[in-house]
Amino acid sequence: MKGLYFQQSSTNGEITFVFQEKENLPITEDNFVKLQVKACALSQINTKLLAEMKMEKDFFPVGREVAGIVLDGILPLDSEDPGLCEVIRVHEHYLVHKPEKVTWTEAAGAIRDGVRAYTALHYLSHLSPGKSVLIMDGASAFGTIAIQLAHHRGAKVISTAYSLEDKQCLERLRSSIARVIDVSNGKVDVAESCLEETGGLGVDIVLDAGVRLYSKDDEPAVKLQLLPHKHDIITLLGVGGHWITTEESLQLDPPDSHCLFLKGATVAFLNDEIWNLSNVQQGKYLCILKDVMEKLSAGIFRPQLDEPIPLYEAKVSMEVVQKNQGRKKQVVQF
């Protein structure tokens, strides 16, 4: 059997994806099962996290959000098997049943973003009915699931659109969104729009998609693509609010911290890998996986999926995903 792996150059850090012949699976041990993969979603690989966790290898398996016969789940970070393979071996503690109404591609395509949305809105910000939530880049695969979860929980949802296509996508979710802020031309003030929408009170929860940390002159060009400045986020945050950030290098200066202190606000970092880094939270993790599947079955979650692709196109598609160039979720169908 062949599986997809990636290797990182030791000189320039460039990532390449390669198909490798995979050894036959060892005899199944206690609590391990063989899973015939029917679909596997593609997500960016956090090479920096792997390096910090001392988990670097010559060839690292690709594809962790899998759906297969009877069971589906997210492979742990240290899994030796790539999800992009016909048959894999996985511990039963990382699996939940797939409802009959849910297709293989839906299960694989929604499981990771569902876990991220639950982590951000339920565990990090304690979302409850009546709260106001700003979800940046709501038309992304993750943003769409987060919007649907927040709306289901009874929150007032505000979202930003980075292009005309994104705005049209969010308009189709109009029943779930109170306001769409179009920032594609770079002229709209996100903080001002949010304060206007909330009567000057600010939003209760902010889920960003990256922020600018410095002035435009000092910021790398990639950061200038319509991202709000950290001061904008702090300004639009309400009293007792929660800022959930994906910016792993967030830097807050003393005036920033003082403003957050005056508001009694909190900052939390969204790292969905925490569920796989410790067995202490295993029960909660499985509950999240199960609930994501149930919400898919009930039609509460409607993931943004691209057309399924065959295994032989996975290498090219993964290169696009790694560069963060795709909007919809890419899923390989076996």
In the chain, what is the straight-line distance between the N-terminal and C-terminal CA atoms, in Å? 13
| Band of residue 218 on the pLDDT scale cut at 50, 70, 90 | low
pLDDT score for 56: 67
Residue with more model confidence, 318 or 84:
318
Share of the chain above pLDDT 90, in %: 43
DSSP string, 24-92: PPPPP-TTEEEEEEEEEEE----HHHHHHTT---SSEE---EEEESSEEEE--TT-SS-SSSSEEEEEG
pLDDT at 24: 64
Among candidates 146, 31, 131, 141, which has minimal Cα distance to 91? 31
Higher pLDDT: 27 or 64? It is 64
Which residues are CB-contacts of 305 (< 8 A; sequence separation ≥ 6)?
105, 106, 109, 328, 329, 331
pLDDT beyond 60 at 12? yes
Report pLDDT for 223: 47
User: Six-digit token pair at 107?
Assistant: 């299960």
d(CA 98, CA 157): 29
Q: Does residue 256 carry a pLDDT above 90?
A: yes
pTM for this model (two decimals): 0.87
Domains of the chain: 2-110+275-333 (3.90.180.10), 127-269 (3.40.50.720)
Highest mean pLDDT, choosing among 5-9, 89-93, 179-183:
179-183
The pLDDT assigned to 196 comes to 94
d(CA 174, CA 148): 11
Q: What is the mean pLDDT of residues 152-163?
A: 93
Phi-psi region of 93 (alpha: psi -120 to 50; beta: other; left: phi over 0): alpha
* Token pair in block for residue 267: 């900052």
pLDDT digits (tens, 9 = 90+) for 277-333: 777 878 888 899 999 999 999 999 989 899 999 988 888 888 888 887 778 899 999
* pLDDT of the residue at 72: 55
pLDDT, the chain, mean: 85
Confidence of residue 73 (pLDDT cuts 50, 70, 90): low
pLDDT, tens digit, 9 for 90 and up, residues 164-205: 888 988 888 777 888 999 988 878 899 999 999 999 999 999
Q: What is the mean pLDDT of residues 90-112?
A: 88
Tokens standing for 319? Answer: 């290169």
In the prediction, which pLDDT does 215 show?
A: 67
State the Cα–Cα distance between residues 334 and 331, nearest whole angstrom. 10
